[in-house]
Chains A and B, each alone.
Chain A
Amino acid sequence: MPLISARELTKRYPGVQALDNLTLDVDPGIIGFVGANGAGKSTFIRILLGLLAPTSGSVSVLDLDVARHPLEVRRLVGYMPEHDCLPVDVSGTDFVTHMGRMSGLPFAAARERAAEMLRHVGLHEERYRLIGSYSTGMKQRIKLAQALVHDPRLLLLDEPTNGLDPEGREEMLMLVERTGREFGIAVMVTSHLLGEIERVCNSLIAIDAGRLQYSGSVTAFTEETERLRIEIDDDVPEFAAELRARGLAVEEHGTELRVSLRDDAVYDVIRDVAAELTVPLSRMEITRHRLEELFRPADDHAEAAHV
Chain B
Amino acid sequence: MSERVAGAIYDLGYQRYIGERLGRSYAVRSLLAFSFKTAFGVGRGDKSKIIPVIVAVAVYLPAMFSVFVASATGAPSAVSYAGHLQFTAFLLALFAAAQAPELVVTDKQHGVLSLYLSRPLTATDYAVAKLGALFGAMLCLTLGPELLMFLGRVFMSTAPFATFKAEWGKLMPIFGGTILTSAFFASIGLWLASFASRRGYGSAAVIAFFLLVPAVVSMFRNVTGGDIKRYAVLANPMLLIVGFANWLFDIQARQRTTIARADLPGQDYMYVMLAVCVVCVALLIRRYRRVEP
Contacts and interface: CB of A to CB of B under 8 A. Distances in A.
Contact of A85 (B16, B110, B120): B110
Contacts of A87: 106-107, 110, 112
Given A74-B118, A104-B21, A98 B111 contact: no
A105 B19 contact: yes
Contacts of A74: 118-120
B118 to A, nearest CB: 4
B10 A124 contact: yes
A116 B118 contact: no
Q: Is the interface of B mostly helix, strand, loop or mixed?
A: loop
Given A75-B120, A104-B120, 18 more contacts: A71-B122, A79-B115, A84-B110, A85-B111, A87-B106, A87-B110, A89-B44, A90-B43, A91-B43, A102-B116, A104-B21, A104-B26, A106-B19, A113-B17, A116-B15, A150-B21, A171-B7, A171-B9
30 contacts: A51-B118, A52-B292, A71-B122, A72-B120, A74-B118, A74-B120, A75-B120, A83-B114, A85-B111, A86-B110, A87-B112, A89-B48, A90-B43, A99-B119, A101-B26, A101-B30, A102-B121, A103-B27, A103-B119, A103-B120, A104-B27, A109-B19, A113-B17, A120-B9, A120-B14, A122-B10, A130-B45, A175-B9, A182-B14, A183-B14
A146 B115 contact: yes
Contacts, number: 113
Given A74-B120, A105-B17, A175-B9, A85 B114 contact: yes
Interface string B15-47: 111011111101100110010000000011100
The 5 closest A-B pairs by CB, nearest first: A151-B17, A85-B111, A104-B21, A101-B30, A79-B118
A248 B110 CA distance: 54
A29 B10 CA distance: 23
A34 interface: no
A62 B291 CA distance: 27
B8 interface: yes
B24 to A, nearest CB: 6
Given A52-B292, A89-B44, A102 B31 contact: yes
A90 B34 CA distance: 11
A248 B278 CA distance: 73
Interface of B: 7-10, 12-17, 19-24, 26-27, 30-31, 34, 43-45, 48, 106-107, 110-112, 114-122, 292-293
A109 B8 CA distance: 25
Nearest to B117: A51
A169 interface: no
A113 B12 CA distance: 13
A116 B11 CA distance: 11
A157 to B, nearest CB: 12
Contacts of B121: 71, 102
Contacts of A178: 9
Contacts of B107: 87
Interface residues of A, number: 48
B3 to A, nearest CB: 15
A91 B24 CA distance: 25
Contacts of A183: 14
A49 B9 contact: no
A105 B111 contact: no
Nearest to A178: B9
A91 B34 CA distance: 13
Contact of B21 (A81, A91, A98, A105): A105
Interface centre among A109, A113, A130, A174 (most CB of B within 10 A): A109
A151 B16 contact: yes
Nearest to A175: B9
Contacts of B10: 119, 122, 124
B27 A81 contact: no
Contacts of B17: 105, 109, 113, 150-151
A250 B90 CA distance: 80
Nearest to B16: A151
Interface centre among B16, B19, B106 (most CB of A within 10 A): B19
B9 A121 contact: yes
A85 B119 contact: no
Contacts of A242: none
A166 to B, nearest CB: 15
Contacts of A116: 12, 15
A99 B48 CA distance: 21
A46 interface: yes
Contact of B45 (A89, A102, A120, A122): A89
